[in-house]
Amino acid sequence: MNKETTPPLFDVLISPRWADQDSMGHINHVQYFRYLEEARVQWMTNTGFGMSGSGELSGMIVAAAGLNFRKEWHHDKPLRVRAWSVHIGNSSFRLLQSLYSEDGGELVAEGEITLVCIDAKHRPIPIADSERAQLQKCLLVQ
């Protein structure tokens, strides 16, 4: 399956802020990581992914993150953040995260992030069955 036929795990619209620009007038590279984080947090909040029964985050850490920049962007144009699963392990999973123009027609940046589920002592724990099912629905077969 590919991105055109596989539904994204999430699809979130982000509005870059004036202060996100650098001295060259385009969005500073570090801001893209913040946009991706904001979209992931919205997804987890809206779906309960990674939350315990009490609604609190049970534990997830970023083990690796990378991003390839394809096009410069400016503060007055919204960005669409989409993500798909690309690997589901025992306690970790990788997402392909993409930032597009609002209409989804222009790829602005794309990269992978590895997230690990952890317990209170920061030891890896298995991905819950319900969360694994969510990830499986949006898995890109590479």
| Number of helical (H) and strand (E) elements in the chain, helices listed first | 2, 6
First to last CA, the chain: 8
In order along its 142 residues, the chain shows pLDDT tens digits of 688 899 999 999 999 999 999 999 899 999 999 999 999 999 988 988 876 554 444 688 999 999 999 999 998 999 999 999 999 999 999 999 999 999 999 999 999 999 999 888 888 999 999 999 999 999 998 6
Q: Residue 118's closest CA among 130, 126, 106?
A: 126
Residue 18's φ and ψ, nearest 5 degrees, are -55, -45
- pTM of the predicted structure, to 2 decimals: 0.90
